[in-house]
C-alpha cells in the first residue's frame, strides 16, 4: 500500500482545548503517517478514509495558515498545543511546513506554543525555537530507551526512540524548554522500572518534566487480536501499585513527574489520580 496525501480546506485553525495547561489546539494535518497502532486520535478523527487507512492516508489543511493568520487577530491570546490529535512534524511537514509557519504566526502575535512530537524533524526548526525560546516548549513522546524494544512494532513509522532521545538532548542544550511524555505504558512491554528509571535520568539531565500515561483502551482495539490482548492486560493491570513505585523513583531522583491525563475509567483510576494530585501538590510546596 502506498501513502496517500489529500488536500482539504478548513474554516478554523484553532480549537478550544480540553487538555490541562492548553487554551487551544492546532492540528495542521488530519491523521498521522507515523501510524502508531494504539493512537487514540482514531477515536476523534471524523475522516473515515483516514481512520480506515491509519498511517497511510493523510489530509493536509491546505488553507490553514491563511485561516490562522485571521484568527490570531481576533481571539484571546493563550497557550496553543501543536499536535494534540496528530503530529505536526510527521513526514509531510517536510513538504508543507505548516507546523513551522504556524509557530511563527502564533508567537509573533503573542501566543505561546507547546509542541508534542515523536519526530526528530522538529530540529529543522531550531532557529525558530531559539528565536522564540521564551514562548515555546517541546515535548517528546518517548516510549522506550531500548533499541530492541517491542514498541517499534506499535510505532512503525515514527522516529526511533533513541533518535528522539538525542533530539531532546540537543534541544535542551540549545536552551529550549523540554518535557517527556512516557506513554502509553503497555504492560509487559515498557513497564519495566529499570527503563522508567532511565527515562527519569534523561529527564534530570535535560531538565525535563515527565508525564506518565497508561495504555488508554479504545473501542477500535477490540477489532484487532494483537491490540485486544494489550487492552485486556491494561484493564487488568495494577496501575496503582506501579505508579506508586514510579513516584518513589521520581522523588528519589528529584524529577518533576505528572500524569498525562485525568482518567474516568471504572476500576479505581479516578482515585489513583486524586492521590497523584495530592502527591504533586505536596512536592511543589
DSSP string, 104-164: HHHHHTT-EEEEEES-GGGGGGHHHHHHTTTTEEEEEE---S-TT-THHHHSTTSPPHHHH
The cell for 243 is 505508579
Cα within 13 Å of Cα(141), Cβ side? 25
Instruction: Answer whether 104's CB lies under 8 Å from 75's CB.
Output: no
* Per-residue confidence (pLDDT) for residue 27, from 0 to 100: 97
Over its length of 285 residues, how does the chain's per-residue pLDDT go in tens digits?
688 999 999 999 999 987 778 999 999 999 999 999 999 999 889 899 999 999 999 999 999 999 999 999 999 999 999 999 999 999 999 999 999 999 999 999 999 999 999 999 999 999 999 999 999 999 999 999 988 888 999 999 999 989 999 999 999 999 999 999 999 999 999 999 999 999 999 999 999 999 999 999 999 999 999 999 999 999 999 998 999 999 999 999 999 999 875 433 333 344 444 444 444 444 333
Which residue intervals of 136-268 are DSSP H helices? 151-154, 161-173, 193-206, 225-236, 239-253
Find how far residue 244's CA is from the centre of its chain.
Answer: 23
Cα within 13 Å of Cα(252), Cβ side? 10
DSSP annotation of 76 reads: P
SS3 assignment, position 25: strand
DSSP annotation of 13 reads: S
For the chain, the structural domain boundaries read 9-28+63-283
Does the model's pTM come out above 0.85? yes
Rounded distance between C-alpha atoms, residue 166 and residue 252, angstroms: 24
- 68-76: which pairs have CB atoms within 8 A and are 24 or more residues apart? 68/13, 68/14, 68/26, 68/102, 68/105, 68/106, 69/105, 71/12, 71/13, 71/14, 72/14, 72/105, 72/106, 72/109, 72/111, 73/109, 75/14, 75/24, 76/23
The cell for 90 is 510527521
- What is the helix, strand, coil percentage profile of the chain, to 5? 45, 20, 40
- Angle at the Cα of 183 from the Cα atoms of 217 and 133, rounded to 5 degrees: 135
Instruction: Answer whether 152's CB lies under 8 Å from 190's CB.
Output: no
Instruction: Answer whether 178's CB lies under 8 Å from 168's CB.
Output: yes
Among 245, 176, 180, smallest CA distance to 209 is for 180
* Per-residue confidence (pLDDT) for residue 279, from 0 to 100: 40
Rounded distance between C-alpha atoms, residue 25 and residue 217, angstroms: 23
Options 3.40.50.10860, 3.40.50.880, 1.10.275.10, 3.80.30.30; CATH for 9-28+63-283 is 3.80.30.30
Amino acid at each position: 500500500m502506498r501513502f496517500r496525501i489529500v488536500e482539504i480546506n478548513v474554516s478554523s485553525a484553532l480549537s478550544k482545548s480540553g487538555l490541562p495547561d492548553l487554551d487551544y489546539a492546532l492540528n495542521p494535518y488530519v491523521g498521522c503517517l507515523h501510524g502508531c497502532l494504539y493512537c487514540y486520535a482514531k477515536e476523534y478523527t471524523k475522516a473515515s478514509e483516514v481512520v480506515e487507512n491509519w498511517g497511510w492516508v493523510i489530509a493536509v489543511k491546505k488553507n490553514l495558515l491563511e485561516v490562522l493568520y485571521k484568527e490570531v487577530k481576533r481571539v484571546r491570546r493563550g497557550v496553543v498545543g501543536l499536535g494534540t490529535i496528530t503530529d505536526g512534524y510527521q513526514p509531510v511537514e517536510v513538504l508543507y511546513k505548516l507546523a513551522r509557519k504556524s509557530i511563527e504566526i502564533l508567537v509573533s502575535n503573542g501566543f505561546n506554543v507547546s509542541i508534542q512530537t515523536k519526530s526528530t524533524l522538529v530540529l529543522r526548526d531550531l532557529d525558530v525555537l531559539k528565536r522564540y525560546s521564551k514562548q515555546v516548549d517541546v515535548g517528546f513522546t518517548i516510549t522506550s530507551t531500548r533499541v530492541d524494544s517491542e514498541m517499534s512494532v506499535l510505532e512503525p513509522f515514527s522516529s526511533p526512540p533513541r533518535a528522539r532521545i538525542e533530539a531532546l538532548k540537543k534541544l535542551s542544550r540549545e536552551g529550549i524548554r523540554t518535557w517527556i511524555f512516557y506513554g502509553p505504558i503497555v504492560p509487559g512491554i515498557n513497564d519495566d522500572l529499570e527503563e522508567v528509571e532511565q527515562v527519569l535520568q534523561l529527564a534530570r539531565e535535560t531538565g525535563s518534566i515527565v508525564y506518565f500515561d497508561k495504555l488508554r483502551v479504545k473501542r477500535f482495539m477490540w477489532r484487532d487480536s494483537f491490540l485486544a490482548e494489550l487492552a485486556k492486560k491494561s484493564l487488568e493491570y495494577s496501575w496503582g501499585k506501579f505508579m506508586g513505585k514510579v513516584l518513589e523513583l521520581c522523588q528519589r531522583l528529584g524529577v518533576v513527574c505528572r500524569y498525562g491525563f485525568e482518567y474516568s475509567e471504572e476500576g479505581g483510576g479516578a482515585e489513583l489520580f486524586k492521590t497523584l494530585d495530592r502527591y504533586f501538590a505536596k512536592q511543589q510546596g
